[in-house]
Amino acid sequence: MNAYYLLAVAITAEVIATTSMKAVKGFSTPLPLALVIVGYAIAFWMLILVVRTIPVGITYAVWSGMGIVLVSVAAFFIYGQKLDLPAMLGLGLIVLGVVVIQMFSKTAGH
């Protein structure tokens, strides 16, 4: 399977897990807790598979960068957390950095 599909699964699982953390209130909320545990387990499992093909630095840059942006988007829709202009500009720069890596880096394992 293409490593970038596995990376997309890892990013999705991490976003679900991280976004669910806010809803965890000890053991009284088992569904969010399960989403955190299972989400991170899937994310790291997929990352282990991805780094067999894509260099670890590139994998981590894409995974963490897109995770930051997507968690911010999810928090906006789920929790109503708003971002100010500097935060949105910073997130835009993160996306731009991932795009530059994907389009121009020979290290990205294309």
Whether the predicted pLDDT of 1 surpasses 80: no
> Domain coordinates of the chain in residue numbers?
3-108
3-state secondary structure of 29: coil
Find the length of the chain.
110
Span 3-47, pLDDT tens digits: 999 999 999 999 999 999 999 987 788 999 999 999 999 999 999
What does the DSSP 8-state code read for residue 25? -
The string of pLDDT tens digits covering residues 49-96 is 999 999 998 899 999 999 999 999 999 999 999 999 999 999 999 999
pLDDT of residue 85: 95
Question: What is the Cα–Cα distance from 109 to 90, expressed in whole angstroms?
Answer: 26
Which residues are CB-contacts of 50 (< 8 A; sequence separation ≥ 6)? 3, 6, 7, 10, 59
Q: Is the pLDDT of residue 110 over 70?
A: no
